[in-house]
Amino acid sequence: MNTGGKNSGNRLLKLVQDGHPMTLGQQLRLTVQLSIPSIISQLSSILMQFIDASMVGSLGAEASASIGLVSTTTWLFMGLTSACATGFFVQSAHLLGARDNAKARDVLRQSIVLSLAFSLILSVIGLAISGPLPEWLGGEEAIHADSSLYFLIFSLSLPAMQMNVLASGMLRSSGNMYTPSALNILMCLLDVVFNWFLIFPDRTVSLGGVDFYIPGAGLGVCGAALGTALAALVTAALLLWKLCFRSPELRLDQEKGSFRPTRACFKNALGIALPMGCERVVMCGAQIMSTIIVAPLGTVAIAANSFAITAESLCYMPGYGISNAATTLVGQSVGAGRKELTWRFANISTIMGIAVMAIMGVVMYATATWIMGIMTPDARVMDLGARILRIEAFAEPMYAASIVAYGVFVGVGDTLVPSIMNLASIWAVRLSLAAVLAPTHGLEGVWIAMCIELCFRGVIFLVRLYRKKWLKKL
């Protein structure tokens, strides 16, 4: 780990908190230093999904489709855990920016209790719907059993995933992007190891003319779900230990404090998280509707759609990494009462996100066939997936604009209007176009609709960002 870079980032962040002037070079350097580990963390997270998809893809199109069918619903549940955690770590960022570490630790204690309770409720709901969910989504009967089992195991792992998201967000709110990055990479590696033994049956592997016996549980799709759950559990434990016992700003062993939730903390968290949570529900509902539009197109289309979504994530996850850095920088600038610096970090982050994802879009267009070939040996799935990836490549710059600008607004604590903008865009533009284009253009029509909608969404977020009305609330 680059300790020098970490210490430099901490020193620059202190300039924000202490009210010292910052040059443009220092602002750029701090944005980059916070963005890089967050980008690595985001990429490692999606790489884990990529690995799952690749390993399961080797079992055939039906196994892939069984996971792809419920993927939008798993994103819904993960989106809700993210919204819950955001309600607390934005408060923490503001308090740390104001140099009130004691109150930030109080928020952390309460967030652990409330977030864990919320994730347990989500787990119960997930268990209740896991059986009928594949049928509700319109999947073929042949994949119902595997889809249900995958979602059931995912639901059981939600408390661990919630703690992972919360601890990562809290560490980022203090400016520590490196620990979440390193541990998310570890989670990716653990996922590979667990999947290796859980998905496949006993087998013999030849290396350099020497045969090695590899034991395996042969659990297939179930093994993929278990591998991810176990990796998340180990990582969540390590993140919580680092946060609660090693973080200079937030460690809880410095003083005694109550874990009992207070009305003020809960109200503040609800004001931030509720619009985000509602947005996640409605947007993932839209994604589920998109899945329902895709499902009648057949198993090949479902598998290609699932693989392409995973592959595209490798392209847009850098945008989410920069968005996380923007949330931290903007949040701490708001807490420090530095309005002009808030705008500068918002502007720098947005431009950086657009530039990075424009490059990633070019790479995705050029390597679409190769990327799909890694995930599936099925020629039909690979060809269709490559075609739709190339359609989506044109939307990446404007998608970046919406992602990073949203992170800026979250850092301010302004989540209601951006959530409404996301909802209006995906429901009014994407789904209506997809419904019209799918019957005549198949899966490619669905992705053309997605490309148009993401470009539209980026434009409206840029308009709101540069009108600066959100700054007047500070």
Domain ranges of the chain: 3-473
- The mean-pLDDT minimum among 227-236, 282-291, 380-389, 457-466 falls in 282-291
* CA separation for the pair 204, 213 (Å, rounded): 5
Maximum mean pLDDT: which of 65-69, 199-203, 261-265: 261-265
Per-residue pLDDT, averaged over 199-217, amounts to 80
pLDDT at 421: 93
| Strand extents, DSSP E, 95-200 | none
Q: What are phi and psi of 216, to 5 degrees?
A: -155, 150
Name every residue whose Cβ is closer than 8 Å to that of residue 310 and which is 6 or more positions away in sequence. Answer: 46, 49, 50, 53, 375
**Do residues 55 and 376 make contact, with C-beta atoms less than 8 angstroms apart?**
no
65 confidence band (pLDDT: 50, 70, 90): confident
* CA separation for the pair 323, 425 (Å, rounded): 19
**Number of other residues whose CB lies within 10 A of the CB of residue 202:** 10
- Which pTM does this prediction carry? 0.80
pLDDT at 47: 67
pLDDT at 295: 79
Integer angstrom CA distances of residue 14 from 31, 273, 343: 14, 27, 18
3 confidence band (pLDDT: 50, 70, 90): very low
Helices 24-57 + 178-198 axis angle, to 10: 10
**Do residues 84 and 279 make contact, with C-beta atoms less than 8 angstroms apart?**
no
Q: Is the model's pLDDT at 151 over the cut of 50?
A: yes
Q: Of 321, 368, 319, 325, which Cα lies nearest the Cα of 346?
A: 325
**Number of other residues whose CB lies within 10 A of the CB of residue 269:** 25
